[in-house]
Amino acid sequence: MVALDQAAIIYDPSGFAEPPSLDWFQSPPGKSGADRRGRGAVYYLATAAGAAVLRRYRRGGLMARLGTDRYLWLGAEVTRPFREFRLTAALYRAGLPVPQPLAAAYWRSGMTYQAALMTKRIDRAETLAERWRRAPAAIDWAALGGLIARFHALGICHADLNAHNILLDSAGRAYLIDFDRGRWRALDAIWPAQNLARLHRSLCKIGAGQPETLVAPADWAALESAWRSQLLHPASIGEGAR
């Protein structure tokens, strides 16, 4: 960790010989792209570590009324970027399909802070929502169910599992992104099913309730079947890693 005046940066030394400048997080020099979650801003950067994605932390929903990008300061290690960086790094080291975390930073102002996270960009990837709109027949729903089960079987609870937080690359390989507020949990029968239900609701929301754009029952059944099967056979969790 690099401590600065009222700020700090953590980074992956395998990607950066020197920590990226705080200016990169506060005023990203790259091109702004569409935010996958419908709030905040995502920037695509060319860095010493390669093509990267920088995401500024911003609130959504009712909490945005209290301030869109400021969070209560409770200490460096419990800041949202540091927690997400460390969780994503652990998943990446374990061979799970997540973007490589490159750096994270926070900067304080009184009792609040702002923050951003930088990850390696997955080449030619699009979200599940985008792929579904463009080429729904190309989606392997069973593979997606197995992917989600790999995380669940290890006790990884994604706080916002939706069609914008699953990426598919040009070969159809799937990745989970955005582990803000994600955490390790003891496996039970409740939260994994709630995670899956959240994904289904997001697909229905994208479809705007139109029958012709909703995920086909057979496709969702294939996803659920593979998800259950993978959870019952945890020995296969490590198969198909990056």
Tens digits of per-residue pLDDT, 112-142?
A: 999 999 999 999 999 999 999 889 899 999 9
Of residues 36 and 201, more confidently modeled: 201
Of residues 238 and 181, more confidently modeled: 181
CB of 163 closer than 8 Å to CB of 202: yes
Which token pair is 159? 């706080």
219 is catalytic: no
Q: What is the pLDDT of residue 60?
A: 61
Q: Is the pTM of this model over 0.85?
A: yes
Catalytic position from the list 140, 160, 178, 188: 160
Mean pLDDT for the chain overall:
88
Q: What is the pLDDT of residue 234?
A: 61
Strand order in the sheet with 174-176: 126-127, 166-168, 174-176
* Residue 37 pLDDT greater than 80, yes or no: no
In DSSP notation, 57-85 reads ----GGGGGG-SS-EE---GGGSHHHHHH
Of residues 165 and 216, more confidently modeled: 165
Tens digits of per-residue pLDDT, 84-116?
A: 999 999 999 999 999 999 999 999 999 999 999
* Fold assignment, 2-120: Phosphorylase Kinase; domain 1 (3.30.200)
* Fold assignment, 126-236: Transferase(Phosphotransferase); domain 1 (1.10.510)
Domain residue ranges of the chain, discontinuous segments joined by +? 2-120, 126-236
